[in-house]
Structure 1
C-alpha cells in the first residue's frame, strides 16, 4: 500500500490522513489514482488506460503521455501490437472493464461532440455529430431510425416511433375491401406524387418511388407503379427544374440507395396529388 500513500502525498493529503484514506478507500479507487503514472512497455506504442475508455497512453521514445479521445469517442484497443492510434465512436468500441468516460459535452442535436444521435421529435431523422457540428440525415420513406441497431428500419418495428408517425397515420382497408389487390395493395400518398403506401397483412408501410419517377395509380383498386412524371396526369411538374441526372449520379456515388439513408432531395414545392374522379 506504500505506492498509494505516495500518490496521496503528491495530492497534498497530510501523511496521517493519507494513511487513514489508504486503509479505507476501495482498491478500485486506489488503482484509478495510480493509473496517472504509467511505465511504457516499449519505446513506441499506444496503450489503453486501465479504467477509462476514452483515455490512452502514447509512448514516444519510452516517454508516456496521457491522451484523451474527443468527447463521444473511445480508444480502440483491438490492436494486439499496440501500434495503432485510433479513436472511434463509443458504440463501435468494446470497452470491457474500461468503464469510465469524460462527462458529456453537448451541443444542439448532439449529446456528445462526436456520435450518431436520434432526433428527439421525428423518428425518421438522426444526426451525425463531429466536433459538435450536427449533420441532419433522414431515413427513406417508410423507415425510422432505430437507436439500438443504429440503422433505418421499418417504422412499425421501431419502438420509439409513435403510432401516428408510422406511415403518417395511413390506415389500411379491412381485408376484402380492396378489389384485385392480391396478397398486398398499393395506395397513393394523398399529398406527395412520389410517395405511396403498401398494405401487407393490415400493416401500412410508406415507400418512395426512385428519384425521377412518381407513383401512378393503377386501373384497379390497390394497384399502381412508379412511372415518369410526364405519364402521370397532375404530377408532370413534380420535380420542377431540378437536374435529375445529377441527382441520380450523386445518390449512386454516395451509396444512398443501398443503405436506406439519405439527405432527401425534395422538389421546391410539393404539388398535391390530383384527386381521382369518381
Structure 2
C-alpha cells in the first residue's frame, strides 16, 4: 500500500513538473505560479519540481543558489498556497520565527530550525511581531492581552521567582504542590502558564522531590488515603488508576 501511495505521489509530482516548460536549456530556477514554497529547477531543458523546507518560501530574486527564505522577507503576491504544515506546538512549521503558543506571553518567541525550537526573549517593553518577525513596541490592541498573568479558576498563578532544579539551574517547567489537595500539583509551562495535574491514586505529590510519592514520605499527607479502603485494595492488586478528587484537605 505504501509503495502504491509513493508511486502515486511520484506520478503527481512528475505530472506537475511536466506541465512546466523550461524557457531554455541553461540551468535556472523558476517560481510556481500558485504555491509560494514550490519552484522548478531547470537543467538541460528538463524541469524538476522542488519544495522549500517547511516554513520557508521561494524568491526568484535572491541571487544565491538557495532561494528559499523566511516568509516575512518575501512578497508572495498571489502565490498564496503552501505545502501542508509539519510542525509541533512551539513550531507550527518546521522552520521560521513563531510567537509563544500562549497569547498572553508576548515577549517570548521561538526560532525553529528543522522543528527544533530555540527560545528567545524580546528586550524589556517590546513584544514579538510574528507578521514581521521582529520585536516591536506594542500597539494599543496588543496591550489589552499581552502580559496578562494567567490564573486558574482556583486562583493559582505562577510565581515570579525562579525555581531551581537539582542541579541549581532554573527549571523550565516548575512544579508546585496544591495547598489543600495532597494528590494534586501545578505545573507552570515555561514558568508562565499554569496547569493543574494529579498523581495516580494511592500517591501524593512530594514537593521536595518534585514527583509523586508514597504518602508516608510526605509530611502532612501521611493519612491522605486512610479513609479510602479502595486505595488499600489497589495497592494489594497492583492496579494503577489515575487521580480521583474528593479527598480531605492537606494538613498544614
TM value normalised by structure 2: 0.47
TM value normalised by structure 1: 0.43
By percentage of residues, which structure has more helix? 1
Higher Cα Rg, which structure = 1
